[in-house]
Amino acid sequence: MEERHKRILQRNRVNLVRDLNPSDMYHGLLSKGIFTQDMIDEIKSSGIRQDQARQLVRDLETRGSLAFPALIECLHETGQHSLAELLLDGEPQNQPLPQPVHVRTVVRPLPVYSPMDTVKPVQVVIPVYPTQSVKPMPTTPIPCTVARKTPEREFGKPRATGRVRRDSIQSYKMDANPCGHCLIINNVDFEPKSELSKRTGSNIDCEKLERRFKSLNFIVLVKRNLKQKQIKQELSALSKKDHSQYDCCVVIMLSHGTEVCNNRFPGAVHGVDGPNVPVQHITNYLNGQNCLSLQGKPKIFFIQACGGGERDTGFEVSPDEAIGGTGDQTDAMPMSSSSDSLSTQSDEPDAKATLPTPSNILVSYSTFPGYVSWRDTQAGSWYVETLDNMLEENAATDDLVTMLMMVNHEVSEYTANGLYKQMPGSFNFLRKLLYFQALPCQRPIVS
């Protein structure tokens, strides 16, 4: 969409959210080729009418130069003339709108090779515009590897040669500048009453991740040694920020952890005073219901903490596959019950158990639920060191889920004290591929 049209939508966003009836618009925007059915379904799932209107306006800004005139036309077609006139009042008189889009379906056979080298016709839907004539389809058979439709990415990163993805998988918009907020909570020095040890080496993790996510074009905020209540306050403050100009949000928790059973995301992280905050409630602060400006956008959580007190001895492999050292510590605490939850705090309405199942959320754990997570006192945790390396080497070409699979493989090959293993993993509720903005990372100069 042209910048002038984006500015018109942004100036009138309040009126559009308040007055627009999105359900009347879906058929017209679909028939004009502005939205796909998947996009319409996603807008419908965003919530009540106002939420759908907000998401529709936000998505229109990404749909090319014909999106604005198509919006005006649909408003007139559905009787929402006052909104159309409101938007046109901001359009300069010497800048006429492009020709409105009309689409009719023309079905023609396109011969392609089948796996048995026989030619079968394939129906192709061709949009025809008022000033265009329909060109005849080629009669020469075309190999199916050429004729197959390739999905377009929503933003600039080129597709790697030879990589094949399902047509239905899209990519999140990740081209905002800056990309979004990244909150890092680094708990190192625990109070004596907590009976939790100092997390030596965590500052190394924190510095790596702060540097890394700045290089990925995030606004990074680091908070150190927070009590349970302070963790909640920082998450609440993050949820109340206006994220409408950003594309993503990241939360990184570096702390001791424990096993807490919940119906979505297991585990919990401890404040330096001892009490914990369940991971499920950490994610609730930023879900689509509690943080409206992050609706439809990816929310990524990295948890470097133990998932419980069990130590995984793995299974026998050849000696040359074992990696690791003897200076490793764990971030474990014994299992606690789910009674340590936000539901005990009457002033936390965004943590009720009746919230809908989250979407567009990914939680990456340093270890499998119930097991300890290992941290080298000199080099930092296995998980963060590996995650940082993978982001440095692959963020320019690979999506997040693929990189996390690489992290899983790499960490699984480490061994602590010649005996213990660790297996990271993720709870993935993302609906699209996520590619970070890869910028050069400025490493500190060592004299």
* Distance of alpha carbon 421 from alpha carbon 414, whole angstroms: 6
Is the pLDDT assigned to residue 12 strictly greater than 50?
A: yes
- Residue position matching structure tokens 């990372």: 441
Task: Let me know: does 396 contact 436? Beta carbons within 8 Å.
Answer: no
Architecture per CATH, 180-428: 3-Layer(aba) Sandwich (3.40)
Question: Residue 340 carries which DSSP code?
Answer: S
For the chain, the structural domain boundaries read: 3-88, 180-428
Task: Let me know: does 364 contact 305? Beta carbons within 8 Å.
Answer: no
Q: What is the pLDDT of residue 341?
A: 29
Active site amino acids = 256, 306
Is the pLDDT assigned to residue 414 strictly greater than 90?
A: no
Q: What is the pLDDT of residue 393?
A: 93
pTM of the model: 0.55
- Binned at pLDDT 50, 70 and 90, residue 91 comes out as low
pLDDT tens track for 142-198: 333 333 333 333 334 444 444 544 555 789 999 999 999 999 999 999 999 999 889
Is the pLDDT assigned to residue 390 strictly greater than 70?
A: yes
The pair of structure tokens assigned to 258 is 């424990």
pLDDT tens track for 60-70: 888 888 889 99
Q: What is the pLDDT of residue 263?
A: 59
Architecture per CATH, 3-88: Orthogonal Bundle (1.10)
Question: Residue 152 carries which DSSP code?
Answer: P
- Cα–Cα distances (Å) from 445 to 87, 378, 384, 393, in that order, read 53, 19, 21, 19
